[in-house]
Amino acid sequence: MGRDPKPFFSTNSFVFCCFPAQANFAPYFYDNGASSTNGNMALFSLSEDTPVGSHVYTLNGTDPEGDFVTYGISFESSSRNFFSIDPNFGNITLIEELDREREDEIEAIISISDGINRVSTGVLKVKNMTYSSAHSFLQNLHSNKFTMDRHSGVLRISVGATLDYEKSRTHFITVLAKDGGGRLRGDYVVFSATTTITINVDDVQDTAPIFVGTPYYGYVYEDSHPGSEILTVVAVDGDRGNPNMVLYNFVNGSDEAFRINETTGAISVVVSPSQLKKEVYELRVQVSEVSSSGVLAAQVSTTVTIRVVDLNNHPPTFYGENGLQNMFELTMYEHPSEGEILRGLRITVNDSDQGANAKFNLRLVGAGGIFRVVPQTVLNEAQVTIIVENSAAIDFEKIKLLTFKLLAVEVNTPEKFSSTADIVIHLLDTNDNVPKFSSDYYIARIPENSPGGSNVVAVAAMDPDSGLWGEVKYSIYGAGAELFLIHPSAGIIYTQPWAALDAEVTSKYNFYVKAEDTEGKYSLAEVFVTVLDVNDHSPEFDENIQETTMVLGTPVKIEATDHDAEEPNNVVDYSIMQAEPANVFDINESTGEIRLKAFVHSLDIIHNITKNRDCTWSVLVQAKDRGSPSFSTTAVLKIDILDETLHRGPMAAFLMQTKDNPMKAVGVLAGVIAIMVVITVFISTAMFWRNKKSNKILPIRRVIRKRPSPPSRTIRAEWLKFKRSHAGDKFAVKDELPNENHNNNSLMFTPPPTAPALPPPPTPIPKISPTEWTVPTVSGSLTPKHTRKLLKEKALESPVQSALVSELKQKFEKKAMDNKPYF
């Protein structure tokens, strides 16, 4: 093979030799080294990704006598045959797929034979796949309590972070591991894997051991043998997260008759029961905590009571402070805290038997989940503790006496001896309830004319507590409570003696009522009081209703106001009670609009209806509300009827618009005069400065034009009075007109006041065309009957004055047609 190979024999080689008459030496393998692909397969390794069918090695050897050699390979019966071999040429071929993670080494036996001698050797085949070093990473980066070295994979607590056993006993961390990558079957591959690390936080040793199931009672049977176990005391390290081991020992009281296992806490008797000198033994057992370093740490002790008893012939028995007892009573307040122990019940349960015969269970019968008993399993004897489980059910207002049974039943005896004890609990009341109103709010209604001290509404609140705690006192407060009082114990809300409720002033009140017990516990309810409107107001006409002007084709409107607060008391209907002439006017009963009937569409028709050319008619109108009982008001309305075609001038239109409001006309005229004064001053000032600059005083020529004197207003007033007295005589309010509400707004009781006199004209008034003064208007007044008679008599006594007025009237009307307004 190119060099003289050295013979190689494994320590496990087997040489089979035959010794004929002439010596024949055994064949042997060449040792070509670990890096060679032929020889004796010494230190042979193979990559796990080698394809099946690949030629992986060639066995090579020789025989000293030069005989032909053959090769072989075999495997253990429990192993798979990974390779096949050509026996003549020694070529080894891979016939099974390799998996290093499943099997990282293969044991095979190779052999060489010359036909006479055969040499076999064991070969350790190691399959190894080349890979780069791995790196580790933390995936759940939101966890900032830990950090990991990516190269070494060391997990550490982050700087500044602390672990708290009480807050979190376990932490879960996901770790990702990735290799450096390499080629697998010709491809570059990077493999990774994840795993979850569970970190359990250990508790710190800072709590002494705790005995479990105290107090301890044990019994020695009369037939017990020395070495019999009596009972086991159990203590645990108070640090439950990482408890230390505890050791038990007797402090005193054993009298060398008992022994305790220092590791298990099992107490056993070491002498015959007949040698025990006392009936009851009080053993003081101490438990010591042993630290990890073996040093005794915290210690605690308890008392174990051991009785010497006979065979099982007694049922469980309940004892009180004074001995045998089968009924226990307790008085307590309602609603104790959940988990509270009923310390007033001093109950001991005992089974005088020994061993398994003295084991029994405790349970409550009829308690309804309100209480629970501890312990639930007893060996020999135990103090019974009853604990509150449901505080809400212990309610004095629902039940004043609780009764249930305490049952003890043996567990492992065929007799199943049992006994019961009655538990009776008397409840005492506490102020645990707040007064509660029958409703969260109360709605009341009261008429506005109710006298002071009238009842409004009765509120009611209940406090189920007993005695003084159940007494309720009422009070009211709030911005709307000034007019009301409340009876402190009856809860009746009534008005103040001086209160006068008026729906037109305030129709709704809102305040709070308070129900309070003797300790100040209270609740609130809201009270809404509505003052009901009563029809106590009559409709009232507008002050300017007595007289108006109607242009043909245009209605006039009257308006009355009812000051009641609500409908229908303040809804007004209008009607015409009487008119002169009759059957000429219609009125809209809802809006109060008065218009002429359709056939009256010109002054000629009006003149044909009346006996003369007088166009002032009187109408008795009524305003009536819809209340019950109903109130009404009547008024006399004088209507001047005009034809709009006779008054087309702008001044006439203005005076018609301001007829019912003379102060408006006076204001407009005053404004015009003020503008004229300003213009005059401006012109005079300009002329003054012009003359001053020219140093020449020029004479001013002024043409003074005498203005015609306006007609006397006194004559106009007399003419108007004449017309009014004439119309009033045609229509007079009779005394027998009905007034169904008997109010004092009717004309038959007190005549309405006459309208005030016209205001005096301003001194610097400009000249107004006589046309403006020919508008037939009448100053508004509800003229009493006797006043009209006086005016009529005065008009009849002055025929000369009447003739003068008629003549002046004709002149004014003629000038109104010929002249324009003069300013």
The answer to whether 336 touches 293, Cβ cutoff 8 Å, is: no
Pairing of strands 436-437, 377-379: unpaired
Contacts of 179 (CB under 8 A, 6+ apart): 131, 132, 133, 134, 135, 190, 191, 192
The secondary structure of residue 470, as a DSSP letter, is G
Model pLDDT, residue 311: 67
Fold match between domain 28-127 and domain 210-309: yes
Taking a C-beta distance cutoff of 8 angstroms, is the pair 637, 619 a contact?
Answer: yes
Please enumerate in sequence order all residues whose Cβ is within 8 A of that of 45, keeping only pairs 6 or more positions apart, or say none.
125, 126, 127, 128
Which of the following CATH numbers is that of domain 210-309: 2.60.40.60, 3.40.630.10, 3.40.50.150, 3.30.450.20? 2.60.40.60
Strands 317-320 and 347-350 turn out to be: antiparallel
DSSP 286-306: EEEEE-TTS-EEEEEEEEEEE
Half-sphere exposure of 178 (CA within 13 A, CB side): 9
The region, left, alpha or beta by phi > 0 then psi within -120 to 50, assigned to residue 303 is: beta
CB atoms within 10 A of CB 350: 22
User: Cβ(25)–Cβ(15) under 8 Å?
Assistant: no
Residue 317 contacts residue 292 (beta carbons within 8 Å) = no
Class of domain 540-648: mainly beta
Cα(215)–Cα(378) distance, rounded to whole angstroms?
A: 10
* Residues contacting residue 576 through CB under 8 Å, at least 6 positions apart: 585, 586, 587, 594, 619, 620, 621, 622
> What is the bridge-based pairing of β-strands 327-333 and 418-428?
parallel
**Tally of CA atoms within 13 A in the half-sphere of 279 that contains its CB:** 3
Domain ranges of the chain: 28-127, 136-200, 210-309, 317-428, 436-532, 540-648
Whole-number pLDDT of residue 265: 93
At 75 the pLDDT is 86
Q: Measuring CA to CA, which residue among 375, 395, 386, 397 is closest to residue 422?
A: 386
CA 121 to chain centre: 87
Cis peptide before 215 (omega within 30 of 0): yes
Q: What pLDDT, on the 0 to 100 scale, is given for residue 660?
A: 56
CA atoms of 326 and 42, how far apart (whole Å): 91
309 near 316, Cβ under 8 Å? no
Residue with tokens 């005096």: 760
Per CATH, is 317-428 categorized as 3.40.50.300? Answer: no
Distance, CA of 219 to CA of 233 (rounded, Å): 13
Predicted pLDDT at 305: 94
Which 3 state secondary structure label does DSSP give 716? helix
Provide DSSP, 746-809: STTTSPPPPPPPPPPPPTTPPP--GGGGGS---------HHHHHHHHHHHHH-HHHHHHHHHHH
Q: What is the CATH number of domain 436-532?
A: 2.60.40.60
Asked whether the beta carbons of 302 and 211 are under 8 A apart, the reply is yes
What are the per-10-residue average pLDDT scores of the chain (823 residues)? 40 43 78 83 83 91 91 86 91 89 84 89 57 62 75 83 78 83 78 86 80 90 86 87 86 89 93 85 92 84 87 84 92 92 92 82 92 92 93 90 93 88 92 91 90 92 89 92 93 91 88 93 94 84 74 82 81 85 83 83 74 72 86 83 61 58 78 91 87 55 46 38 38 38 35 41 40 32 36 39 48 53 38
| DSSP H/E element including 675 | helix 662-694
pLDDT of residue 47: 83
Euclidean distance between CA atoms 433 and 396, whole angstroms: 11
CATH 2.60.40.60 for domain 28-127, yes or no, is yes
Token pair 């001086």 in the structure block, residue = 498
Under 8 Å between Cβ of 290 and 247: yes
Q: Is 41 left (phi over 0), alpha (psi -120 to 50) or beta?
A: left
Report the b/e string of 62-77 with b at 16+ CB within 10 A. bbeeeeebbbebeeee
Q: Specify whether the CB–CB gap between 17 and 9 falls below 8 A.
A: no
